[in-house]
Structure 1
Amino acid sequence: MTEPARFLSFVRDGSAGYGIETPAGIVDLSARHGDRWPSLREVIADGALDTLSSEASRLSSDFSAEGITYGSPVPAPEKIICVGVNYPDRNEEYRDGQAAQANPSLFVRFARSFVGHDVPLNRPPESVQLDYEGEIVLIVGKAGRRIAEKDALSHVAGISLANEGTIRDWVRHAKFNVTQGKNFDGTGSIGPWLTPFVDESQIADIALETRVNGEVRQRDRTRRMIFSFRKIVSYISTFTTLVPGDMILTGTPTGAGARLDPPVWLRPGDVVEVSAEGLGILRNGIRDEIANA
Structure 2
Amino acid sequence: MRLGTYSVGGETFYGAFTQEGAIALNAAFPQWNSLYDAIASGGLDDLIAAAENGRITHTGVTHEMVMPNARRILCVGVNFPDRNAEYKDGSAQPKHMSLFPRFASGFTGHGQNLVRPPENHTLDYEGEVAIVIGKAGRRIAAGGAYDHIAALTLCNEGTIRDWVRHAKFNVTQGKNWDRSGSIGPWLVPFTDPAQLDNARIVTRVNGEVRQDDTLDRMMFPIREEIAYISTFMTLLPGDIIVTGTPTGAGARFDPPRYLAPGDVVEVEVEGIGTLRNGVEDETI
Alpha-carbon distance, 1:269 to partner = 0.5
Which ranges of 4 or more aligned residues in structure 1 deviate by more than 3 Å?
A: none
Within the alignment, does 1:29 sit opposite 2:25 as a pair? yes
Name which of 51, 58, 61 aligns with 1:63: 58
Alpha-carbon distance, 1:46 to partner = 2.8
Gaps spanning 5+ residues in structure 1: where?
Answer: none
Which residue of structure 2 aligns with residue 256 of structure 1?
Answer: 249
After superposition, give the CA deviation of every residue in 1:179-216 in whole Å (9 maximum; x if it has no partner): 10001111000000011111211111211010000000
After superposition, give the CA deviation of every residue in 1:127-181 in whole Å (9 maximum; x if it has no partner): 1100000000010111211111122111111100000000001111112221100
In 1, the alpha carbon distance for the partners of 2:54 and 2:240 equals: 29
Within the alignment, does 1:275 sit opposite 2:276 as a pair? no
**AA aligned opposite 1:60:** R
- Identity percentage over the alignment? 55
Name which of 232, 238, 254 aligns with 2:225: 232
Which residue of structure 2 aligns with residue 214 of structure 1?
Answer: 207
Match runs of 1:1-293 below 5 Å: 5-33=1-29, 35-64=30-59, 66=60, 68-291=61-284
Root-mean-square deviation (Å): 1.1
Secondary structure of 1:30's counterpart equals coil
TM-score (norm 1): 0.94
Alpha-carbon distance, 1:255 to partner = 0.4
**AA aligned opposite 1:223:** D
In 2, the alpha carbon distance for the partners of 1:55 and 1:78 equals: 25
In 2, the alpha carbon distance for the partners of 1:279 and 1:160 equals: 6
Secondary structure of 1:112's counterpart equals helix
In 1, the alpha carbon distance for the partners of 2:259 and 2:69 equals: 27
In 1, the alpha carbon distance for the partners of 2:256 and 2:56 equals: 45
Q: Which moved more, 1:7-16 or 1:79-88?
A: 7-16
Q: Which moved more, 1:136-145 or 1:52-61?
A: 52-61
In 2, the alpha carbon distance for the partners of 1:244 and 1:47 equals: 7
Secondary structure of 1:31's counterpart equals coil
**AA aligned opposite 1:74:** M
Alpha-carbon distance, 1:32 to partner = 2.2
Residue pair 2:42, 2:237 contacting (<8 A) in 1 also: no
TM-score (norm 2): 0.97
